[in-house]
Amino acid sequence: MPGLPPTQLRLLHVHAHPDDESSKGAATTAKYVAEGVEVLVATCTGGERGSVLNPKLADDPAVLANIASIRAAEMAKARAILGVSQVWLGFVDSGMPEGEPAPPLPEGCFGLEDPVIAAGRLVAVIRQFRPHVVTTYDEQGGYPHPDHVMCNRITVEAFKAAADPHLWPEHGPAWQAAKLYYHMSFHRRRFEQLELAMHEQGLDCTVAHRDEDPYSYGRLTTFVECAEYFPVRDEALRAHATQIDPDGPWFAVPLAIQQAGWPTEDYQLVRSLVPTMIPEDDLFAGLRPEPLVPEFMI
């Protein structure tokens, strides 16, 4: 596996809902697509229970009545913008039950699946696509949405199970992906740097989506330079019109300030079966033709 040229490298992103592929790691995706890497997005659910977050569409009865098909159409636009292939795993959106105490999740939803069994669908994708790198969310789902947490659980399980020829034999020959990463771009250090850059330009320095975990920055291992592709990321985000307010907090920081203030998307390397060196600047470190010394294994 080591020494593969970029045109043979394959990257699999596993996400909970349509729009997650555009809000998490999308500039990284666009960068690798431009380099000739084959990228596949596996979307666990259809986002059927997602709220309409764009206030311009929130009261449109046609949108509310057809949210599943609309979100599928938005996903089609986003994947075309990013240049990726995409597969639906077919699980049912859990929604985000709120209250005190929190109400139970709806019967049959993704968040109530047995992760060992549910991982079988992703095992089939991994064995067919044969990715060298897999990405997903951390143990808390990036934020505690039940579908994001379950997405982490089935990805971790499938990463292992896909390599075991005794498990899921009906899904084809075993495949061992070389590296597993968690998306970690929503961390406090990044937001602090963006706020500082905003302040230096005399602009409102409150940045939305502040990470509540002050220690997440210490988990980072990999910083992918991809500021050039931030405009592609934003275009893909806007394709999810029901989920993204074009005048909202996602776009509050001017693009030039984002590119200068924090030009990377950031990851935690969780598992590597190839030698690499920390910190990394490439999800495919250890898989490129150039040897890396000293060796670092997780």
Question: CA–CA separation, 36 vs 30, rounded Å?
Answer: 10
In angstroms, the Cα distances linking 149 to 20, 181, 240 are 13, 15, 22
Q: Which residues define the annotated binding site?
A: 17, 20, 148
Question: Residue 38's closest CA among 121, 107, 115, 128?
Answer: 128
Question: CA–CA separation, 210 vs 263, rounded Å?
Answer: 17
Residue 137: both structure tokens together? 């969310």
Residue with tokens 């045109």: 7
Distance of CA 84 to the CA centre of its chain: 13
Q: Which residues define the annotated binding site for Zn(2+)?
A: 17, 20, 148
CB atoms inside a 10 Å sphere around CB 18: 31
